[in-house]
């Protein structure tokens, strides 16, 4: 019997992509929900919930997953820091994979960014640049947010160090600053560059996604994995065995 999925955000770009390839991955979309639907009315017979919708939907969906003891895969981004903290406490009560990016390449980029930040040290100015399609509703992307978190962790800095864009008389760049820049346009699926620049050299780590099927496949792979786990919050590094 294929894995039975409740797909939330089913009418969106990611929802449609997941529905298009679930069948190739020993999974079936048992039920679909989108804005205005009540997921509680569609959960019967589903093994797992996959959510790619809006940050405003995550709280209710997690409450439902906890009440019905259903594993959940969350790909939705755009949660504020305080909002996310509360949601993570709720998510820990069920098996939950929560990832800002489900691609294998990006998960490798996370690992390489951590290594580069550690090896290159504070003398190398760190900046993250991302570009996405014109329809994207949040900025910076969930992936950029994770890359920034990794750099802040390695450098023992807080979110106060983040500098979102620059304009006007900004003065010289302080070494503790971590720059972040979100470009929007056209149909770009997702591009992320992490730069480390010192006097005399620059290292750039670049990932370019050209097909959102990479995220959809990763999410279905995570769904197969999460139904076998104990309650707790996991990420794609856990699913891929990169930790």
Per CB under 6 A, residues contacting ligand NAD are 8-9, 11-15, 33-35, 52-54, 56-57, 75-78, 99-102, 138, 142, 212, 215
Active site residue 68: no
In the bound state with ligand NAD, the residue whose beta carbon lies nearer, of 35 and 122, is: 35
Q: Which of 70, 132, 192, 207 is an active site residue? A: 132
In the bound state with ligand NAD, the residue whose beta carbon lies nearer, of 33 and 193, is: 33
As given in the structure block, the two tokens for residue 240 are 């891929």
Contacts of 117 (CB under 8 A, 6+ apart): 126, 150, 151, 154, 155, 196
Active site residue 224: no
* Rg of the chain, C-alpha, whole Å: 19
> CB nearest ligand NAD: which residue?
12
The least distance separating ligand NAD from the CB of residue 94, rounded to whole angstroms, comes to 18
The least distance separating ligand NAD from the CB of residue 36, rounded to whole angstroms, comes to 7
Q: Which of 70, 79, 136, 207 is an active site residue? A: 136
Task: Report the C-alpha gap between 79 and 41 in whole angstroms.
Answer: 25
In the bound state with ligand NAD, the residue whose beta carbon lies nearer, of 12 and 95, is: 12
Sort strands 27-33 and 3-8 into parallel, antiparallel or unpaired. parallel
The least distance separating ligand NAD from the CB of residue 220, rounded to whole angstroms, comes to 12
Strands (E) in the chain, as ranges, are 3-8, 27-33, 48-51, 72-74, 95-98, 125-132, 162-164, 178-184, 190-198, 201-209, 232-234
Enzyme catalytic residues: 132, 136
């Amino acid at each position: 019997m294929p894995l039975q999925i409740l797909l939330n955000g089913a009418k969106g770009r990611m929802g449609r992509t997941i529905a298009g390839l679930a069948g190739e991955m020993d999974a079936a979309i048992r039920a679909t929900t989108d804005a205005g639907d009540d997921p509680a009315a569609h959960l019967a017979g589903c093994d797992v919930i996959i959510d790619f919708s809006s940050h405003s939907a995550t709280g209710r969906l997690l409450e439902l997953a906890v009440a019905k003891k259903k594993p959940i895969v969350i790909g939705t981004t755009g949660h504020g820091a305080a909002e996310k903290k509360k949601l993570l406490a709720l998510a820990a009560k069920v098996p939950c994979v929560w990832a800002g990016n489900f691609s294998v390449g990006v998960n490798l980029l996370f690992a390489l960014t951590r290594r580069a930040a550690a090896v290159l040290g504070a003398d190398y100015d760190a900046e993250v640049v991302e570009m996405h399609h014109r329809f994207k509703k949040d900025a910076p992307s969930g992936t950029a947010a994770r890359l920034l978190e990794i750099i802040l962790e390695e450098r023992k800095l807080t979110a106060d160090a983040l500098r979102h864009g620059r304009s006007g008389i900004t003065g010289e760049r302080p070494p503790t600053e971590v720059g972040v820049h979100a470009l929007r346009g056209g149909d770009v699926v997702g591009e992320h560059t992490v730069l480390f620049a010192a006097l005399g050299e620059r290292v750039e780590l670049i990932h370019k996604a050209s097909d959102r099927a990479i995220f959809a496949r990763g999410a279905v792979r995570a769904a197969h994995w999460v139904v076998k786990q104990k309650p707790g919050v996991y990420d794609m590094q856990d699913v891929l065995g990169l930790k």
